[in-house]
Each structure stands twice: as C-alpha cells, then as structure tokens.
Amino acid sequence: MGEVADWSWAASGASWVDALSVLINVKTLNPEAALDHWFTTRPVFAAVGEDSVAEDSINAVMAGWAGYFLDMSRRPDPPGIPTLRESQRTQGQIVCAWLR
C-alpha cells in the first residue's frame, strides 16, 4: 500500500526543520524567550551538528522562512482569514530579529 498525505506542501527533509518551526511560533508568542538552549538540549537538533556548518544550516532555513513570511504578508487577505497576513508579517519580523 502506498503512502497518503493530506497536505498540499508535503515534503521530506531534515528532521530538525519542524522543531525549528515550532520555536519560531514560541518566539512569535514570546519575543523575549531565550531559545538557544533548545539547540543543545533537545535530541532532535543533534542531527544538525555543533559546528559553524550547523549554524549556517539553521540560519539558511530561517532566512528562507523570513522571506516566505514577509513575501506572503504583502498579499491580499484570503477570504475568511483577515488576520493571516498580519500574522505572517509578525512571524517574518520575529525571524529576521532572531537572525540578527
């Protein structure tokens, strides 16, 4: 039997990417939260490694998300979701600040 995914953007990739996206949501809800300790204390991030290449990988993914969120935030609100674009703008700004 084949696999079924009920999501139009399904993809496979690094195991830590979903965990990183959760941290973006935490940072969005609490911009003062210090999250760096998660990268050394959570097993999911062990796959990233501990050298500068690992940091570059995380920064690259976050930069991609920042671009996505900020680009999408400039589009018109979709019907029935009037707060989506503002939420995307906020997430993009949070990710940019975190990258700095």
Q: What is the pLDDT of residues 43-92, one digit of tens each?
A: 888 878 776 677 888 899 999 999 999 999 999 999 999 999 999 999 99
3-state secondary structure 42-93: CHHHHHCCCCHHHHHHHHHHHHHHHHHHHHHHCCCCCCCCCCHHHHHHHHHH
1: pLDDT strictly greater than 50 = no
Report the predicted TM-score, pTM, of the whole model to 2 decimal places. Answer: 0.77
Task: Compare 5 and 39 and report the one with higher pLDDT.
Answer: 39
Instruction: Quick: pLDDT tens for 25-47.
Output: 888 888 888 888 887 888 888 87
